[in-house]
């Protein structure tokens, strides 16, 4: 009887072990996806979200205030020099006409002053008065001798002397008038010349304002943003429209300081626009910002990628994924990124043997968005779990999803 009891107990234990091996520790199978540990090349890549922008982008702003008479619609194709918008120039043209009239009047006045007819008249009068004075002086000297010889009376000499004094006084008066007129003409000439310069300066300013009243495109491209309507009053510096190039594009992406050390100018890059999933536009790094910007408490550097011509209809402001190939490491053990789980700061994966998983700690090396180098912990050819579910534990029995689907 005891032998039968002992035999029964042995059978129960064996059955439990078999059941445990068949179902795992928790007694149930977990469906998982699997991948294989491989050896080969590992592309060292840096990836991030970015945005496509036109190579050239110009904000067209008003340089003078006024009323918008015309402005192009968004989406309009323009050539370099085409008028994008125009401001009412009637008041500017009226000021130009007035200043041109003032300039003509001032130049005529300057011509009159330079001719100096009034000065010439005074100069002739001075000459006449000078001749009269010399004659009066000669007669006075001659009559003084006659008076000394008692040929003429004292009264006659006084009369001749009074004429001499009167003639001299008249000469001084005319000379003073000439001097004052010369000074006045000099001041008037300087004033008119100054007015001419001011008017000419105003006309240059007005001509510039007339040019500014016509806002032209500095490039051939597309009007992407129209900020104002016809008939609206605008102020100086107000944004009217934006023109972007329609043939050349760049992609801009912000990389954190950890990744920036992995790239350099000229490195190839692949840009995948969200609007064209699966389509790739190639390019090369053209510019790396010399200093970082703080974005969400992380230092980031703006990287500009010059895109090559493509048959994809890419447009400015499209969002995209950017992948920069910074190098290639050969003959490495590698696994998919989806196989790695991080637990309390350490990296692990689950190895599948006979449909039972075992958790293995890993030492990882270089990685890209898809794959990671394994320095220790795995061997080529081993099978591992992809995207391990949270309930997956060490020594649990699993079923491969593909096999499970074939059974069903």
Q: What is the 3-state secondary structure (H, E, C) of the chain?
A: CHHHHHHHHHHHHHHHHHHHHHHCCCCCCEEEEEEECEEEEEEEEEEEEEEEEECCEEEEECCCCEEEEEECCCCCEECCCCEEEEECCHHHHHHHHHHHHHHHHHHHHHHHHHHCHHHHHHHHHHHHHHHHHHHHHHHHHHHHHHHHCCCCCHHHHHHHHHHHHHHHHHHHHHHHHHHHHHHHHHHHHHHHHHHHHHHHHHHHHHHHHHHHCEEECCCCEEEEEECCCCCCEECCCCEEEEEECCCCEEEEEEEEHHHHCCCCCCCEEEEEEHHHCCCCEEEEEEEECCCCEEECCEEEEEEEEEECCCCCCCCCCCEEEEEEEEEEEEEEEEEEHHHCEEECCEEEEEEEECCEEEEEEEEEEEECCCEEEEEECCCCCCEEEECCCCCCCCCCEEEEHHHHHHHC
Predicted confidence pLDDT, tens digits, the chain (408 residues): 555 555 555 655 555 544 544 444 445 788 999 999 999 998 888 888 999 999 898 999 999 999 999 999 988 999 999 999 999 999 999 999 999 999 999 999 888 887 877 788 888 888 998 888 898 888 888 888 888 888 888 888 889 889 888 998 998 998 888 888 888 888 888 999 999 999 999 999 999 999 999 999 999 999 988 888 999 999 999 999 999 988 889 999 999 888 888 889 999 999 999 999 889 999 999 999 999 988 888 889 999 999 998 888 888 889 999 999 888 888 999 999 999 999 888 999 999 999 999 999 999 988 877 899 999 999 999 999 999 998 888 889 989 887 555 555
CA dist 17 → 9, 358, 389 (Å):
13, 18, 26
pLDDT value, residue 154: 85
CA angle 64, 68, 70 (to 5 degrees): 125
Nearest residue to 295 via CA among 48, 52, 44: 48
At 161, list the tokens.
């002397």
pLDDT value, residue 407: 52
Nearest residue to 352 via CA among 399, 312, 299: 399
Sign of CA dihedral 299, 304, 305, 310: positive
CATH top-level class for 57-88+214-244?
Answer: mainly beta
CA–CA separation, 198 vs 204, rounded Å? 10
CATH architecture of 25-54+248-407: Beta Barrel (2.40)
At 102, list the tokens.
């003032």
CATH 2.40.50.100 in the chain is located at 57-88+214-244
CA–CA separation, 397 vs 356, rounded Å? 4
Per-residue burial over 272-300, b if 16 or more Cβ lie within 10 Å, else e, is bbeeeeeebbebebbeeeeebeeeeeeeb
Nearest residue to 223 via CA among 36, 393, 60: 60
pLDDT value, residue 22: 46
pLDDT value, residue 309: 86
pLDDT value, residue 15: 52
The length of the chain is 408
Nearest residue to 341 via CA among 357, 319, 360: 360
CATH 1.10.287 in the chain is located at 90-211
CATH fold, domain 90-211, is: Helix Hairpins (1.10.287)
Q: Which residues contact 287 (CB under 8 A, 6 or more apart)?
A: 265, 303, 304
pLDDT value, residue 18: 47
CA–CA separation, 318 vs 272, rounded Å? 10
CATH 2.40.30.170 in the chain is located at 25-54+248-407
Query: Angle formed by the axes of helices 117-148 and 154-212, to 10°?
Result: 170
335 near 374, Cβ under 8 Å? yes
The answer to whether the predicted template modeling score (pTM) of the entire model surpasses 0.75 is no
């Amino acid at each position: 009887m005891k032998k039968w009891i002992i035999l029964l107990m042995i059978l129960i234990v064996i059955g439990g072990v078999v059941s445990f091996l068949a179902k795992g520790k928790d007694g149930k199978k977990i469906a998982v996806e699997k991948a294989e540990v491989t050896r080969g090349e590992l592309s060292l890549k840096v990836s991030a979200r970015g945005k496509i922008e036109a190579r050239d982008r110009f904000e067209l702003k008003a340089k003078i205030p006024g009323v918008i008479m015309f402005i192009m619609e968004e989406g309009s194709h323009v050539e370099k020099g085409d008028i994008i918008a125009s401001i009412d120039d009637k008041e500017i043209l009226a000021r130009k006409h007035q200043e041109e009239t003032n300039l003509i009047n001032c130049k005529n006045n300057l011509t009159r002053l330079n001719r100096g007819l009034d000065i010439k008249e005074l100069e002739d009068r001075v000459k006449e008065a000078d001749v009269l004075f010399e004659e009066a002086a000669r007669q006075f000297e001659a009559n003084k001798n006659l008076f000394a010889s008692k040929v003429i009376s004292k009264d006659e000499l006084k009369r001749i002397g009074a004429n001499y004094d009167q003639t001299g006084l008249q000469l001084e008066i005319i000379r003073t008038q000439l001097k004052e007129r010369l000074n006045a003409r000099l001041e008037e000439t300087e004033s008119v010349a100054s007015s001419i310069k001011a008017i000419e300066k105003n006309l240059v300013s007005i001509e510039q304002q007339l040019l500014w009243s016509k806002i032209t495109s500095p490039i051939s491209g597309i009007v992407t943003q129209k900020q104002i309507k016809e008939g609206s009053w605008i102020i100086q510096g107000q944004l009217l429209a934006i023109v972007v190039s329609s043939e050349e594009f760049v992609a801009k992406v912000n990389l954190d300081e950890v990744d920036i050390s992995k790239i350099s100018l000229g490195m190839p890059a692949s840009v995948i626009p969200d609007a064209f999933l699966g389509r790739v536009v190639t390019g090369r790094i053209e510019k790396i910002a010399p200093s970082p910007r703080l974005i969400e408490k992380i230092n980031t550097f703006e990287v500009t990628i010059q895109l090559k011509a493509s048959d994809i209809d890419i447009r400015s402001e499209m969002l995209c994924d950017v992948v920069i190939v910074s190098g290639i490491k050969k003959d490495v053990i590698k696994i998919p990124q989806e196989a790695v789980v991080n637990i309390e700061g350490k990296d692990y994966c689950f190895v599948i043997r006979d449909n039972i998983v075992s958790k293995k700690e890993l030492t990882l090396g270089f990685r890209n968005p898809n794959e990671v180098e394994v320095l220790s912990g795995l061997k080529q050819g081993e099978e591992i779990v992809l995207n391990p579910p949270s309930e997956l534990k060490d020594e649990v029995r699993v079923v491969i999803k593909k096999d499970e689907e074939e059974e069903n």
